[in-house]
Structure 1
Amino acid sequence: MTDQAQTQPLTPELFAQGFMTPRRASVPKELVLPGGTLAQLATSEGDVAVQVAGTGPAVLLLHGWEGQASDMAAFVPPLLAAGLSVVAVHLPAHGASAGRQSSIPQAARALRDVGARLGPWQGAIAHSVGCAVLVEALHAGLVVRRVVALAAPARYEHHVRGAAAALGLDADDTERALGLLTAAMGADVRAVSLPGRAPTRHEPALFMHSEDDRVVPIGESLLSAGAWPGAVHRRLGGLGHRRLLGDADVVAAAVDFVRRAT
């Protein structure tokens, strides 16, 4: 949530505005792709930055909320070494993409549009909110053959309510904020649910989550994996919410999983 929203008396309108406004990194870190290209693709949600490298079957890399494409850098060398290509998407209002505000439904629509241009994809490796964006895009028709979900959250409504409670919104104002968010996002916040979408998915899926994650509790991905037919859940330890992105075992497991159908 923005500083402006926090220094004024909090209203449902200010809360909704702040909830959809990610903080961009003060010192952006570039994702270096050997021999890669950076393009701006027009989508229904504005221009989205996409980095592409390699010539084999493509694997999507998708960072989380207030993250950067460079968060996924550890996956690039082994994917390229395995003969795969990499498509790293900067979420709307993040990194090199356009926009100031976004949300899971809006980012999912943008990802669907990118997939229509550059897909179908051999696999996808997503982190945190990126997992929810990916699944919403799959629900809307995006084609990805294999899915790796790292530290995946479960229900968008739960996180909205948690943020509202932490900032002191009462029950009535929280309901008002949910209505405002639904209108602004163009989708019902309550319907944005990974475990809600999971039973209809057919893609092989691997969930990995650390027990000490203080941002997204591991129970959320356990719930989603349990609802996803045939999904595998790997419980990790000591890697928190972000350290798993650079863990050699996690990276190797993710790359091995997405390359299997090649």
Structure 2
Amino acid sequence: MSSKIYFKKSRGFDLRRRLINLTTRLHHRIAPNHARSVARKVLLTPVRSKKAAAEPAGLTRKPIATSEGMMMTYSLGEGPTWVLGHGWSGSSRQFYTLMEHIAASGFKALAFDNPAHGESEGQFGHLPGFVAAFDSILEQQNCIAGVVAHSMGGAMVLESRHPLLQDKPVLLVAPVLNYTENLISTVERSGYSMKLFHDVVEDIAEQYHSPLDSINPLNRLNGRQAKAVIVHDKYDRFASYAHSELASTNQNVTLITTEGLGHGRILQSDQLKSGFDMLITEQKG
């Protein structure tokens, strides 16, 4: 259900959307506690991807204890570590092609499945939980060389305040830089009760000390001094390319534009490998 809410694009009058609005508002009015419990399941349960992907030779799996439960990590190669974080309803498997490229370039690629994703523990997924798990992963590293993040994973990286990230380059793939605006508009389009949505969000905000209106990945990116490369498809239907264009006016941000790769296929692209090569070349320089 959650993937239909977050990724379905509806236009014009939609009877199903109208029915969702009426039933969720009525449910919230009659049985508010039960409605919030159901809403958490509907809004915060990602789809655990079951797409098969051939594992790279030498890939090592290792579960790591974090504040969000046990997160499964996947490492490949030896050398300075690049950490890779996926987006909503994604998994580390999406990075296998890039991980092979990173390892072949003399680095260690360390990917992890976010809470309630892939092979990690957890029932619910949300950005504050992503950030907490990511910070826990970083806490167990002596140092890192940089970070790669896809989609909502980009917001996760940019919202993190972990000191290991301060001067490190980031490679952002189809990032959701207008995270709050995008989240609210997609839930509104679904027809789901916005009052019920905000009740769920406020519970998370209180638990993680992370109010929704404080989340602004674009501003975080503009405030960073380290280099960033964004690889984004011009016709991405799920993450705003226009906001990546806006970010590229920052002298520390380089935008690589693709066409025809969409939001997911871009992860297997040569342009993404080129973005990584650009960052490590600057590091060596």
SS of 2:236 mapped into structure 1: coil
The match for 2:224 among 190, 197, 201 is: 201
SS at match of 1:61: strand
**Match 1:234 to one of 256, 281, 284:** 256
TM-score w.r.t. structure 2 length?
0.80
Over 3 Å counting, the alpha-carbon distance change for 1:90 and 1:258 in structure 2 is: farther
> Closer, same or farther in 2 for the Cα pair 1:171/1:54, shift >3 Å?
closer
Which position in structure 1 is the counterpart of 2:233?
Answer: 210
What secondary structure, in the 3-state scheme, does the structure 2 residue paired with 1:124 have? Answer: strand
The residue correspondences of 1:7-46 to structure 2 (distance < 5 A) are 9-10=23-24, 11=28, 13=36, 14-25=38-49, 27-29=50-52, 32-46=55-69
Per the normalisation by structure 1, the TM-score is 0.87
Tell me if 1:84 matches 2:84.
no
Q: 1:175 to 1:79 in 2, by over 3 A?
A: closer
Q: 1 CA distance for matches of 2:68 and 2:62? A: 16
Give SS of 1:56's match: coil
CA distance in 2: counterparts of 1:136 and 1:31, whole angstroms: 32
Structure 1 residues 229, 20: CA separation in 2 closer, same or farther (over 3 Å shift)? farther
State percent identity of aligned pairs.
22
Q: CA deviation at 1:213?
A: 0.3
Distance 2:208 2:132 in 1: 10
Which runs of 5 or more structure 1 residues have no equivalent in the other structure?
none
User: Secondary structure at the residue paired with 1:145?
Assistant: coil
Q: CA deviation at 1:174?
A: 5.1
Give the equivalent residue in structure 1 for 2:130: 107
- What is the alpha-carbon distance in structure 2 between the residues aligned to residue 239 and residue 129 of structure 1? 18
| Counterpart mapping for 1:46-195 below 5 A | 46-137=69-160, 139-143=161-165, 145-169=168-192, 172-173=195-196, 175-183=198-206, 185-195=208-218
Structure 2 distance, partners of 1:66, 1:158, is: 19
Distance in 2 of aligned mates of 1:55 and 1:175: 44
Residues paired across the two proteins, number? 258
SS in 2 for 1:196: helix
Distance 1:171 1:68 in 2: 28
AA matched with 1:247: S
The structure having more radius of gyration, on CA atoms, is 2
